[in-house]
């Protein structure tokens, strides 16, 4: 199902604004921290890039999802964590510095891994449907829309940290407003179609969301990482960049049905992450400060 020309052209702009805003919060130390603290970063990346796509694939098979929805769920699983993960991590007393590092590394890695996973999903679930394939030119487009705005934002931060901090909050609000307007426009056009998918997809999306949050928390706990780092990893892989997944579905692959899992997940994750935050805070040990201070 094709999207309107306005949405197809405006969504990449909205995503570029969001990725630029993300770059305003990042610095080279976020990448250098991988060398200093490799274990939590490696565990977080393994969960994000290996476990989640595998879990999404198995859920598609178990629930017998149609090919379009299976591809959409795989796109979502391959998308990195969103900037909102940092907020929930802070509210849950997680290691926000680790969140920033994972967000930075995931955003770069996704430019390479997303086309591969999406290409596999299309090949497996859609067979020979080459008309919806992720061609080389589109893969380059995904690479550019993810990396270039982030790099520009980081350049601005590096040249003028005070300016970057000053414009960060209003810019985030503006980019979010632009995104909301665009997504509402796209969803309202296909509201009947979207709502008709809920009974078929709601349980799958919820299962994937809970699996993401749970894996992100209990895998680090099992590997003896501190609680604050477990919380950070859980939020990072439980709160996906739904905007990027929707962009790939609508603007790159031009299929509304591919965007349905990401659209439902983007709404649902706020409720589950909020409930998880309350649960974590209630169970929090009575100590003064578990999380490391957030990185400026």
pLDDT value of position 176: 62
Tally of domains in the chain: 1
Confidence of residue 194 (pLDDT cuts 50, 70, 90): low
pLDDT by residue (tens digit) across 14-43? Answer: 667 777 777 777 777 766 767 777 889 899
Note the maximum CA span of the chain: 58
% of the chain exceeding 90 in pLDDT: 21
Q: What is the mean pLDDT of the chain?
A: 78
In this prediction, residues 203-217 reach a mean pLDDT of: 93
Q: Taking each helix axis from N to C terminus, what angle separates 161-189 and 5-23, rounded to the nearest 10 degrees?
A: 150
Burial track 176-196 (b if 16+ CB lie within 10 A, e otherwise): bebbeebbeebbeebeeebee
Handedness of CA 263, 268, 274, 279 (dihedral sign): negative
Confidence of residue 1 (pLDDT cuts 50, 70, 90): very low
Whether residue 260 is predicted with pLDDT greater than 90 in this model: the reply is no
The answer to whether position 295 is within a domain reads: no
The answer to whether position 47 is within a domain reads: yes
% of the chain exceeding 70 in pLDDT: 75
- Burial (CB count <10 Å: 0-12, 13-18, 19+), residue 169: exposed
Confidence of residue 187 (pLDDT cuts 50, 70, 90): low
Both tokens assigned to 135: 């061609």
Whether residue 204 is predicted with pLDDT greater than 90 in this model: the reply is yes
Q: In whole angstroms, what is the distance from residue 45 CA to residue 47 CA?
A: 5
The answer to whether position 293 is within a domain reads: no
pLDDT value of position 235: 92
The answer to whether position 235 is within a domain reads: yes
The CATH number that applies at residue 68 is 1.20.1530.20
Residue 111: which domain range?
5-280
The answer to whether position 289 is within a domain reads: no
pTM score > 0.85 for this model? no
Whether residue 107 is predicted with pLDDT greater than 70 in this model: the reply is yes
Q: In whole angstroms, what is the distance from residue 278 CA to residue 276 CA?
A: 5
Burial track 199-238 (b if 16+ CB lie within 10 A, e otherwise): eebeebbbebbebbbebbbebbeeeebbbbbbbbbbbbbb
The answer to whether position 117 is within a domain reads: yes
Residues contacting residue 195 through CB under 8 Å, at least 6 positions apart? none
* Highest mean pLDDT (candidates 125-129, 174-178, 272-276): 272-276
The answer to whether position 290 is within a domain reads: no
- For tokens 């997940």, what's the residue? 265
The answer to whether position 285 is within a domain reads: no
In this prediction, residues 49-70 reach a mean pLDDT of: 93
In this prediction, residues 40-55 reach a mean pLDDT of: 91
């Amino acid at each position: 199902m094709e999207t309107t020309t306005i949405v197809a052209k405006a969504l990449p702009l909205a995503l570029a604004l969001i990725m630029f805003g993300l770059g305003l919060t990042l610095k080279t130390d976020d990448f250098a921290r991988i060398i200093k603290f490799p274990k939590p970063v490696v565990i977080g990346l393994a969960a994000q890039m290996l476990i989640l796509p595998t879990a999404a694939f198995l859920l598609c098979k178990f629930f017998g999802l149609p090919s379009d929805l299976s591809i959409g769920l795989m796109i979502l699983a391959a998308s990195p964590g969103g900037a909102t993960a940092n907020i929930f991590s802070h509210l849950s007393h997680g290691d926000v510095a680790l969140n920033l590092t994972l967000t930075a590394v995931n955003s770069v890695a996704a430019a390479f891994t997303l086309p591969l996973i999406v290409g596999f999903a299309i090949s497996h679930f859609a067979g020979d449907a080459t008309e919806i394939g992720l061609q080389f030119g589109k893969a380059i487009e995904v690479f550019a829309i993810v990396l270039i705005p982030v790099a520009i934002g980081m350049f601005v931060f590096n040249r003028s940290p005070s300016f970057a901090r000053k414009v960060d909050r209003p810019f985030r609000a503006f980019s979010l407003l632009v995104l909301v307007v665009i997504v509402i426009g796209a969803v309202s056009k296909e509201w009947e179609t979207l709502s008709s998918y809920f009974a078929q997809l709601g349980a799958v999306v919820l299962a994937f969301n809970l699996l993401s949050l749970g894996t992100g928390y209990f895998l680090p706990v099992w590997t003896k990482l501190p609680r604050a780092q477990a919380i950070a990893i859980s939020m990072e892989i439980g709160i996906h960049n739904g905007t990027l997944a929707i962009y790939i579905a609508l603007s790159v692959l031009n299929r509304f049905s591919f965007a349905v899992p990401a659209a439902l997940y983007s709404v649902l994750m706020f409720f589950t992450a909020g409930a998880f935050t309350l649960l974590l805070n209630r169970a929090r040990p009575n100590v003064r400060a578990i999380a490391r201070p957030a990185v400026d």
